Chain A
Amino acid sequence: MAVETQAVKQPIQFSAPVVGAAGGFAGIFVGAANGSVLMGLLLGFVILAALAFVALAVLDPKLEKTFKLVLVAVMAVAGYLLGGLPGLVVGAIFGWFFGWFIYWIGMGRHRVPLPPYLTSGQVLWEYSFRVIAGAIFVFLITPILVVMPLSFNAEDFFTFTPEMLRFDPEGYSLKHYRDFFTSSEWQQALRNSLIIAPLATFLSVSFGTLAAIGLSSEHVPFRRAIMAILISPMIVPLIISAAGMYFFYSRIGLQGTLMGVVLAHAALGIPFVIITVTATLVGFDRSLTRAAANMGADPVTTFFRVQMPLILPGVISGGLFAFITSFDEVVVVIFVGSAQQQTLPWQMFTGLREQISPTILAVATILVAISIMLLTTVELLRRRSEKMRGMSPG
C-alpha cells in the first residue's frame, strides 16, 4: 500500500495568504456587482485573510463547527444587505465554501488524497487541474439544468424574470406544461412521435437482431462489406440521408406518408442495433445452442428459449438506442414527412425557428426526464450483461 499522507497543520504564513487570495478572487465579482472591482479585490483579500487568521491561530481547533456556522450566517446577512434575496443565497454559499476552505487549507487536509512526495507546485497544479475539469463538467451540464427552472416561468420569456430571482411564487407557474398538455398541435406531435418511434424500433430490432446473429457466425462471406453497408446510415450525415430519401421516396410515392417516415427511421436505427447486439454476441457461448440442438430443440425453440434470454440486455439497449434515434430525429422527418407526420422534435424545431414560446422549455424538461430514465435503463442493462458475461464460461 502506498504511504498515507497525513493531514498536517499548515503554518499561518501559508494559510492566511492562500485563503486571502481566494477571497480576493471572489471579491472581484462582489466588487464588480457593487461598483468597484479593486475595492472588492482588496476587501475580499483582507477579510478572508483575517478570518483565516482568527480561525486557525486564535480560536481553539475544537470550535471548527461553530465557526463554520457563524460564518455562513454572517455571510448570508452580508449578502442580503448587498443584493437582496439572491444575495442571501450567494452569501450563504460563500460562507459555507470559505468555512470549509479555511480549514481544508489550514489543517493540511488538501494533501490527504495526494501522494506525500508532491511539491507544493504539484499540489497547486493538481487542484487547478481538477478545477478546470470541474469547469468543463459545469459547461456540459449547465445548459440542461438551466432549462428546467425556466420552464416554470410564469411569463412568456426565455429568460429569468426578477420575480423568479426573488424566489417569488408569483414568478413560477405550470402554465407552459398546461400549454403542452392542452394544445392540440403539441399533443398531435406527441402522438406522432409515439407512433413512429415504436414502429421504427420494432422494425430495426427485429431485422437487426437476426442479422447480428448471422453476422456473428464466423463463416460469413463479404463480412466487412456487409457490415459497412449496414453501418452506413450512422456514418452518412443526416442531411444527405434526408436529401436522398426525399428524392427517392417522392419517386416511389412514400414521401409525406407515415410509412415513409417509419421506414426511414428504421434504417437510421439499424446500425445501433447491429453494434450493440453483435457486441453482446461476442460474449455468447455458442456451445449452448449446440447443446440445445443436441437435446432435440429445433432452431426456433433454441433461439427463443436459449439464445434470446441471454442476449436480451443487448437487444433491449440496442432497441433503446434505435428508439431514441427515431424519437429525437428531426432532419429526416422534416424532409420525408408531411404536416400530418409532425413529430415532437419537429414541432420544437419550428417553435425555435418561428414563434419562440417557453412551451418548448417545458417539453425540453420532460424530454430530459425521459432521457434520464433511458440512461438509467441502458446503464443497468449494461451492468447486467457484463455480470452475465463474467459468469458464463470461457
Chain B
Amino acid sequence: MSTLKGSGPQTSDAPTPEDAFHEAAALDAREGEPPHGSGNDGPVLAADGTPLKRSLARALRAQKMRALALIAPLLIFVLLTFIAPIADMLFRSVENQIVRDTLPRTVEALADWDDTSGELPDNAVFDAAYTDIFLAAEYKIHTRLGSRLNYELTGVSSLFRKSGRGLDDIGEVYLDQLEDLDENWDEALPWAELMGTADSVAAYKAWVEAEDKARENDEDFNDPIPAFEMRDGIADVLPRTAEMYSRFAEFVRVEDEDSPFEEEPWTIVLTRLYEDLRDGDVSSYDGPRAEMLKAADELVDSPDFQTADLKSTFEEIDEDWMDLAVWRTIKTYSPAYTSGYFLNAVDMQKTPDGPALRDEDERIYGLLFKRTMFMSLVITFSCIALAYPVAYLLSTLPMRTANLLMILVLLPFWTSLLVRTSAWKVMLQQQGVINDVLVWLGLVDDAARLVMINNQLGTIIAMTHILLPFMILPMYSVMSTIPPTYVRAAKSLGATNWTAFWRVYFPQSVPGIGAGSILVFILSIGYYITPEIVGGTTGTFISNRIAYHISSSLNWGLAAALGTILLAVVLILYWAYDRIVGIDNVKLGG
C-alpha cells in the first residue's frame, strides 16, 4: 500500500474509502503491470463481486451524502435567518413599487407625457391622478406615497396630504346639484338599487324587515347583511360609474366591513356619473330608478349645469400641482425598480438629463463615506502602532510571563462592548477621569478642560481601544512563529539593530499586520454603538446614518442602498482577507 501513497490526497490519521479509491485509480493507471495479488488482467473485485472501483465510488457517494445531510439543517437555518434578510435588503435598495401600486392610472397616463416639453400634463393625466389619489386617500395610503416621494422632492408629502382631503371638492359640485334635483342621489339604497341586482336588493329589503320585526319583539338579531352584487347590464349604460361604484362596493365590504346598501357612495362616483350622462345616452334604460337617472340626464344636459374643472381644482388644492417638478418626480419614479436610492446614497439625483450630482450643500453621504473610511484608517493605523510593540513583547517574553500579560489583552476582548464604551464615556467626559487627573496634576487648567468626547477624537480613542485585541491576537500568532535566530544571524553578520529589524524581522511580521489590519478595518467601518455614544455629530459613521434612516426618517430604501454599498466594501475586503489569511485560519482568543 505504501508504494501507492501520493496518488491523491490521503487522510492524515487513518485510511478512508477514498484512500482505496485513489489506490484503485493508481492501479488502473499502471496498466501493463499485473495488479496486486492476481494473476489475470481483469478488474479488481470487491468481496461481493462488484468491481472494486464501483463499490468504492458508491461508498464515497454515501459519505458525501452523509456529510451534506449533517450540514443541511444549519445551512437552511442560516439561509433563512440571515441570507434571506440580506437578500431582502438588497432587493429593497432598488424596489420602488409603491408609486406604481398607488398611482397605476397616473403612471400609465404619464407614459405619453414628454417631461422635457415644459408643459403640464394634459387633462387625462389629471383625471387619472384624481382617481388614483382619491382611492389612495380612501385606503389611507396616500400619505405613505407622499412620504416616499418626499425623499426625492421636498414638499410632496404635504401636497399629497392636502390633496387627499381636497379632492372631494370635485365630486361635491355634482353631488350638490343632483341632490337639489333629487335627494335620493345622496342616499345609499337608491344607488344600490340602480347598481345592484334585483335579487340582492330584494334580499336586503327582506333582511331589513326581519330586523325591524326582531326589534319590535325585542329579540336578538344577528343575521349578516346580504351581500351586494353588481347588475350585469348597468356597465353598458353607465360604464365609468359602474366601475367606480364596484370599487366602492368592494371597499365598503372589505375595509369598512359594512354594506353599500347602507353607505352613500364616494363623491367621485358622482363625477363619473356626470361624465357618463354627458357622453352617453340613457334614454333606452328601463331598469330600476330609471326615472331618477333620466331626470339627472336632463339636468346635466341643461346649459346652466355647473361643472368642475379638474386642473383648476388641483391648483386650488395646492399650487404645487402646477409645478412641473412634481409631475417629473412622479414620472421618474414610476418604474417598479429604481436606481434612485443608490444615486441618493452617492449624493446624486435623477434629472431629466440623467443622473447628476446634487448641490454642494446637499451632499452628505459622500462626506460620511469619506469620513467613515478616513476614521477607520486612522483607527487601523493607531491599532497597528499600539499592537506591534505589545505583540512583539508577548512573542519574545518567556511563555509564563507572556500568558499572564495575555490576560490583559484578552480581558478587554471578553468584556462587553457596552461596558468598554461606557468606561470611555466616564474617562473622556469634561468632568471625567482623564480631565480630573490632568487638572489635579496641574497640566490642564480647570477652566480649559479638554474636549475629548462627542467628536472624532472620542470615537477614535474608544474604538482603537475596543479593536486593539483584534490586532494584537493575529500579530502575536504570526510573530511567535518568527525564529529569533534570524535577527541574531543578521546582527552577527554586521547588521545594525535597525537594519536587522527592518530588513529581517519586519518583513516576516507583515502577514500578521495585514491580517490584523483587514480585520480591524472591516470591523470598524461597520461600527454603530460606539460612534453613536461617544461620537457626537462629527464622529459618527455611515452606519449611524443607516440606523437613522431605518428608525427615524423611515426612508428604508435609502438605508438599504447605503447598507448595500457598505456591504460591497466589506465583501471586497473580506475577499482580500481570505486571499491573504484564509477563512479557515480565523482564530479566536489566541
What is A's interface to B at a CB cutoff of 8 Å?
29, 32-35, 37, 122, 125, 129-130, 132-133, 136-137, 139-144, 146-147, 150, 157-160, 203, 207-208, 210-211, 213-215, 217-221, 224, 226-233, 235-249, 251, 263-264, 266-267, 270, 272, 275-276, 278-279, 285-287, 290, 317, 321, 324, 327-328, 330-331, 335, 345, 348-349, 352-353, 360-361, 364, 367-368, 371-372, 374-375, 378-379, 382, 394
Asked if residues B468 and A140 are in contact (CB atoms below 8 Å), the reply is yes
Task: Annotate B387-416 by CB proximity to A: 1 below 8 A, 0 otherwise.
Answer: 001101100000000000101111110111
Chain A residues in 8 Å Cβ range of B11 = 218, 286
B68 sits at the interface (CB 8 A): yes
A143-B423, A207-B73 given as contacts; is B389 within 8 A of A243 (CB)? no
Residues from chain A with a CB closer than 8 A to the CB of B584 are 227, 278
Chain B residues 291 to 310 lying within 8 A of chain A, measured CB to CB, are none
- Which stretch in B132-140, B206-214, B528-536 binds the other chain? B528-536
The answer to whether the Cβ of B3 comes within 8 Å of any Cβ in the partner chain is no
Contact check, B78 vs A230: say whether CB atoms are below 8 A apart: yes
**Distance in angstroms between the alpha carbons of A161 and B551 in the assembled complex:** 38
Beta-carbon contact of B75 and A241 below 8 Å: no
Chain A CB within 8 A of B81 CB: yes
CB neighbours of B410 from chain A (8 A): 375, 379
- Given A146-B433, A160-B436, A232-B82, CB of A290 within 8 Å of CB of B418: no
Tell me whether A239 and B547 are in contact in the complex, defined as CB-CB below 8 angstroms, given that A207-B77, A266-B77 are known contacts. Answer: yes
Question: Given A122-B497, A159-B432, A352-B421, A272 and B75 touching (CB < 8 A)?
Answer: no
A213, A249, A371: the one contacting B411 at CB < 8 Å is A371
With known contacts A159-B431, A227-B584, A244-B86, A217–B63 Cβ distance under 8 A:
yes
CB < 8 Å neighbour of B393 from A133, A285, A330? A133
A sample of 11 cross-chain residue pairs with beta-carbon separation below 8 angstroms, ordered by A number, consists of A32-B443, A133-B390, A147-B422, A147-B426, A207-B73, A219-B60, A237-B543, A247-B556, A267-B78, A285-B14, A375-B414
Query: Which one, A217, A230, A278, contacts B66 given CB within 8 A?
Result: A217
| CB-based nearest A residue for B428 | A143
Distance, CA A220 to CA B67, complexed state (A): 6
B331 CB-CB contact with A under 8 Å: no
Interface class of chain B by DSSP: helix
Closest-by-CB residue of B relative to A158 is B426
**B18 proximal to A (CB < 8 A):** yes
Q: A237-B522, A244-B85 are in contact. List 18 more A-B contacts (CB 8 A).
A: A29-B441, A32-B443, A125-B497, A143-B412, A143-B423, A143-B427, A158-B431, A217-B67, A218-B11, A220-B71, A229-B79, A241-B82, A241-B86, A276-B588, A285-B14, A286-B11, A345-B418, A349-B529
> Would you list which residues of chain B between 568 and 588 have a CB under 8 Å from chain A?
570-571, 574, 583-584, 586-588
Pair B386/A236 contact, Cβ less than 8 Å: no
- For chain B residues 161-182, which have a beta carbon within 8 Å of chain A? none
Q: In angstroms, how far is the closest chain A Cβ from the Cβ of B126?
A: 35
Chain A binding site: helix, strand, loop or mixed by DSSP?
helix
Name the A residues within 8 Å of B83 (CB-CB): 229, 232
| The stretch of B38-46, B247-255, B269-277, B559-567 that contacts the partner chain | B559-567
Question: In the bound complex, how far is the Cα of B295 from the Cα of A371, in angstroms?
Answer: 86
Across the interface, do A364 and B418 meet the contact criterion of CB distance under 8 Å? yes
B53 at the binding interface (Cβ < 8 Å): no
Please report the C-alpha to C-alpha distance between residue A270 and residue B18 in the assembled complex, in whole angstroms. Answer: 30
Q: Is B13 an interface residue (CB 8 A)?
A: yes
Contact: B417 with A328, CB < 8 Å? Answer: yes
Question: Which residues of the other chain, A, contact B416 by a CB distance below 8 angstroms?
Answer: 327-328, 345, 364, 367-368, 371
Residues from 10 to 39 in B contacting A, C-beta threshold 8 Å: 11-14, 16, 18
Instruction: List the A side residues contacting B392 at CB < 8 Å.
Output: 133
- By beta carbon, the residue of chain A nearest B472 is A140
Nearest residue (CB) in A for B541 is A239
Q: Does B550 contact A (CB under 8 A)?
A: yes
Across the interface, A231 reaches (CB within 8 A) one of B13, B75, B566, B583, namely: B583
Contact B441 A235 (CB under 8 A): no
Contacts of A133 in B (CB 8 A): 389-390, 392-393
Residue among A137, A353, A382 making CB contact with B589, cutoff 8 Å? A382
The answer on a CB contact under 8 Å between B13 and A286 is yes
CB <8 Å contact, A137 and B89: no
**B586, A275: Cβ atoms under 8 Å?**
yes
Residues A394 and B12 in contact in the complex (CB < 8 Å), given A32-B443, A226-B71, A272-B588: yes
A214 to B420, CA, bound (A): 38
A364 to B419, CA, bound (A): 5
Residue contact A353 to B550, C-beta cutoff 8 Å: no
Residue of B nearest to A142 (CB): B427
Please, how many angstroms separate the alpha-carbon atoms of A226 and B78 in the complex? 10
| A324: chain B residues within 8 A (beta carbon) | 414
Measured between beta carbons, the chain B residues less than 8 angstroms from A159 are 426, 429, 431-433, 436
Q: Which residues of B contact A360 (CB under 8 A)?
A: 422
If A248-B88, A272-B588, A361-B422 touch, does A235 touch B570 (CB 8 Å cutoff)?
yes
Is A240 touching B566 in the complex (CB atoms < 8 A)? yes
Nearest CB of B to A257, in Å: 13
Asked if B526 CB lies within 8 Å of chain A CBs, one says yes
In the complex, whether B64 has a CB less than 8 A from a CB of chain A is yes
Tell me whether A243 and B78 are in contact (CB under 8 A): no
A372 touches B411 (CB 8 A): yes
- B16 adjacent to A367 (CB under 8 Å): no
Whether A140 lies near B408 (C-beta < 8 A) is yes
CA gap between A214 and B60 in the complex, in Å: 14
B507 at the interface (CB under 8 A from A): no
Q: Which residues of B contact A335 (CB under 8 A)?
A: 547, 550-551
Is the beta-carbon distance between A287 and B14 smaller than 8 angstroms? yes
* Residue from A143, A228, A233 with most neighbouring chain B CB atoms (10 Å): A143
Question: When the two chains form their complex, are residues A32 and B441 in contact, meaning their CB atoms are under 8 A apart?
Answer: yes
